[in-house]
Amino acid sequence: MVDIKTRFAPSPTGQLHVGSARTALFCHLLARKMGGMLLLRIEDTDRARHVEGAVERIVDDLKWLGIDWDEGAGVGGDKGPYVQSQRLGIYTKHVEKLLDAGLAYYAFETAEQLAGLRQTAEAEKRSFIYRRPDSLPTRGQAEAVKAEGRPAVVRFKTPGEDVAIHDEVYGVVTVPGDQQDDFIIMKADGWPTYHLANVVDDALMGVNFIVRGQEFLGQTWRHKLLRDAFGWPEPRYAHLPLIMDMKGRKLSKRDGDVDILSFRKAGYLPEAMINFIALLGWSPGNDRERFSLEELREAFDIDRLNKTNAKFDRDKLLAFNTAAIAEADEDRLLVAFEDYLSLNETPFPAGDTAMLRRLLQVNKGFRTFADIVSKSGSLFVADDAVEYNGKAVEKVLAKNDGDGWAVLAELRALLGACPWTGEALEKLLGEFCTGRGLGMGKVAQPLRVALTGGTISPAIGETLTLLGKDKTLSRIDRCLALART
Ligand code: GLU
């Protein structure tokens, strides 16, 4: 039995998409479950789509998720380099081998000529498949064309026979010979295409189990033909189902965040993300839904991948996050909260751990860290930056002939004379309620509106102590002045 070696091979074209994160996770789980290896390779041969800093982003988000790998980018190994732009010589050598063996050939069509052929095919209502010319150019002719500055690509000579791929998820997928084209393996600028570089690297790096998105299944015949041409053995393949939105469309940015960094910035925990992503195309075979990464490493089973499209249910992710937060201990939450603060601009004093702990405590029940900002953020802005919500002012202060304003004015006087401890404040508010025959809501809400501009904040005693006496009084005064205008 050969040990499993799998790989995650992202192209640095932007943020780590949840679909790619799922691929990385399943590769990781497969390797961990089977005692195999996971390799990280950066596929950056598409220069037009290359985004500066994307490799660092991907690596950082993988680490944040807790996904680690054994070889490749950032880790090293004896099959490197692991970044394709550093391997151009290797690809050229392999293309030459195919040219020498008569398994590939040069082609000189310009982009316009190809577009013309494509248009003709469209007009005739047939799909465009590049037709091999009857006589193929020699190397010498190719050199001459290149010297003139005209484009010369290298195309693979497909044998034109049906190709069958055995996929662990989708079963046997056969691509008929007449649907195969002589695809490009080296572009006019001398860079390899994805197909060539991907296949060469998988083979040279000893990858024998390929896990990736379903969108690559239709390309895999090309990879098999290339492997056959080089005499390399077949790896095992597992293609993962598409991820759809709740309307059954392919998940895209139009429905909101789709990359890991956005969820991280929005205040999600990596453990909730991982749990949620793991269920996009995999199930444990029973009703269990909640898993830690550690538990997933145990439970994962390639046979339980399914081919039905996965549904990206944001409500479920939020529910997982809420539960993960409730289960996490404070030290764990503090680390995650600090990560959240490092990625966002908030009014909170990021370096003040005692205060951050307190915020975690007084906001118990929060669903994401963003909830802490919406519930407690206004306590940390400058007093004159508090914005009053018109509806809240109307409903809580102005309604019923300004009952709320009256309560506020009375409280202002009492609070001004009160020592600022939780106990004293609670006693004051309690006695005030009893004395006026008012429920706590009728007293706390006017205060909340005066102190935060709206009706949501931590428990009123906490709100007052977090704010401190001076700020409390100054905010009430500012609000009462509003009543007079
Ligand atoms: N570079 C490809 C991507 O980013 C990898 C495809 C593959 O896994 O073969 O999607």
Residue pLDDT, tens place only, 45-55: 998 999 999 99
Q: How far is the CA of 9 from the centre of ligand 1 (A)?
A: 5
- Give dist(CA 8, CA 363) in Å, integer: 39
pTM of the model: 0.94
- Ligand 1: residue of 49, 193, 216, 236 to mutate (most ligand atoms within 8 A of CB) is 216
| CB 216 less than 6 A from any atom of ligand 1 | yes
Q: How far is the CA of 194 from the centre of ligand 1 (A)?
A: 8
What letter represents residue 268's amino acid?
Y
pLDDT at 255: 81
Which residues lie closer than 8 Å to 285 by C-beta, 6 or more apart?
Answer: 301, 304
pLDDT at 164: 98
Predicted confidence (pLDDT) at residue 400 exceeds the cutoff of 70: yes
Predicted confidence (pLDDT) at residue 289 exceeds the cutoff of 90: yes
Q: What token pair was written down for 158? A: 């497909």
Kind of pairing between the strands at 184-186 and 153-156 = antiparallel
How deeply is 480 buried, as exposed, middle or buried, from its count of CB atoms within 10 A (0-12, 13-18, 19+)? Answer: middle
Q: How far is the CA of 178 from the centre of ligand 1 (A)?
A: 25
Phi/psi for 167 (5° steps) reads: -110, 140
Which ligand 1 atom minimizes the distance to the CA of 202? 9
Percent of the chain with pLDDT over 70: 100
Name the DSSP letter for residue 396: I
Give 3-state DSSP helix, strand, coil % of the chain, rounded to 5.
55, 10, 35
| CB 14 less than 6 A from any atom of ligand 1 | no
Check whether the bond before 81 is cis (ω within 30° of 0).
yes
Mean pLDDT of the 297-314 span: 96
How deeply is 13 buried, as exposed, middle or buried, from its count of CB atoms within 10 A (0-12, 13-18, 19+)? Answer: middle
Phi/psi for 280 (5° steps) reads: -85, 80
| CB 212 less than 6 A from any atom of ligand 1 | yes
- Give dist(CA 255, CA 270) in Å, integer: 21
Which residues lie closer than 8 Å to 147 by C-beta, 6 or more apart?
Answer: none
Mean pLDDT of the 331-348 span: 98
Mean pLDDT of the 424-445 span: 96
How deeply is 481 buried, as exposed, middle or buried, from its count of CB atoms within 10 A (0-12, 13-18, 19+)? Answer: exposed
Q: How far is the CA of 136 from the centre of ligand 1 (A)?
A: 31
Which residues lie closer than 8 Å to 215 by C-beta, 6 or more apart?
Answer: 242
User: What pLDDT, in 10s, does the model give residues 223-279?
Assistant: 999 999 999 999 999 999 999 999 999 998 888 889 999 999 999 999 999 999 999
Percent of the chain with pLDDT over 90: 96
Q: Known catalytic residues? A: 253
Average pLDDT over the chain, rounded to whole? 96
Task: Provide DSSP, 22-86.
Answer: HHHHHHHHHHHHHT-EEEE-B----GGG--TTHHHHHHHHHHHHT---SEETTTB-TT---BGGG
- Give dist(CA 8, CA 232) in Å, integer: 20
CATH fold of 383-484, please?
Arc Repressor Mutant, subunit A (1.10.10)
Predicted confidence (pLDDT) at residue 325 exceeds the cutoff of 80: yes
Mean pLDDT of the 281-301 span: 96
Mean pLDDT of the 453-457 span: 96
Phi/psi for 16 (5° steps) reads: -75, 110
In which residue ranges of the chain is CATH 3.40.50.620 found? Answer: 87-240
Closest CA to 471 of 345, 352, 386: 386
In which residue ranges of the chain is CATH 1.10.1160.10 found? Answer: 261-380
Compute CA 10 distance to the chain's CA centroid, rounded to the nearest angstrom.
13
What letter represents residue 183's amino acid?
F
| CB 84 less than 6 A from any atom of ligand 1 | no
| CB 32 less than 6 A from any atom of ligand 1 | no
Q: Give the other-Cβ count within 10 Å of 200's Cβ.
A: 23
Q: Do residues 38 and 6 lie in contact, with contact meaning Cβ atoms separated by under 8 Å?
A: yes
Predicted confidence (pLDDT) at residue 145 exceeds the cutoff of 90: yes
CATH fold of 261-380, please?
Glutamyl-tRNA Synthetase; domain 2 (1.10.1160)
- Give dist(CA 311, CA 304) in Å, integer: 16
Binning pLDDT at 50, 70 and 90, where does residue 484 land? confident
Q: How far is the CA of 211 from the centre of ligand 1 (A)?
A: 10
Give a three-class secondary structure readout of 217-285: HHHHHHHHHHHHHHCCCCCEEEEECCEECCCCCECCHHHCCCEHHHHHHCCCCHHHHHHHHHCCCECCC
Which ligand 1 atom minimizes the distance to the CA of 211? 8
Q: What token pair was written down for 22? A: 């799922």
Q: How far is the CA of 11 from the centre of ligand 1 (A)?
A: 7
User: What pLDDT, in 10s, does the model give residues 59-76?
Assistant: 999 999 999 999 999 999
- Give dist(CA 449, CA 471) in Å, integer: 14
- Give dist(CA 7, CA 20) in Å, integer: 12
CATH architecture for residues 87-240: 3-Layer(aba) Sandwich (3.40)
Is the backbone of residue 174 left (phi > 0), alpha (psi -120 to 50) or beta? beta
pLDDT at 1: 58
Which ligand 1 atom minimizes the distance to the CA of 13? 4
Diameter of the chain measured on Cα atoms: 102
Predicted confidence (pLDDT) at residue 485 exceeds the cutoff of 90: no
pLDDT at 31: 97
| CB 9 less than 6 A from any atom of ligand 1 | yes
Kind of pairing between the strands at 5-8 and 37-40 = parallel
Q: What token pair was written down for 32? A: 């961990």
In which residue ranges of the chain is CATH 1.10.10.350 found? Answer: 383-484
Which ligand 1 atom minimizes the distance to the CA of 43? 1
Q: Tokens 């996929």 — which residue? A: 167
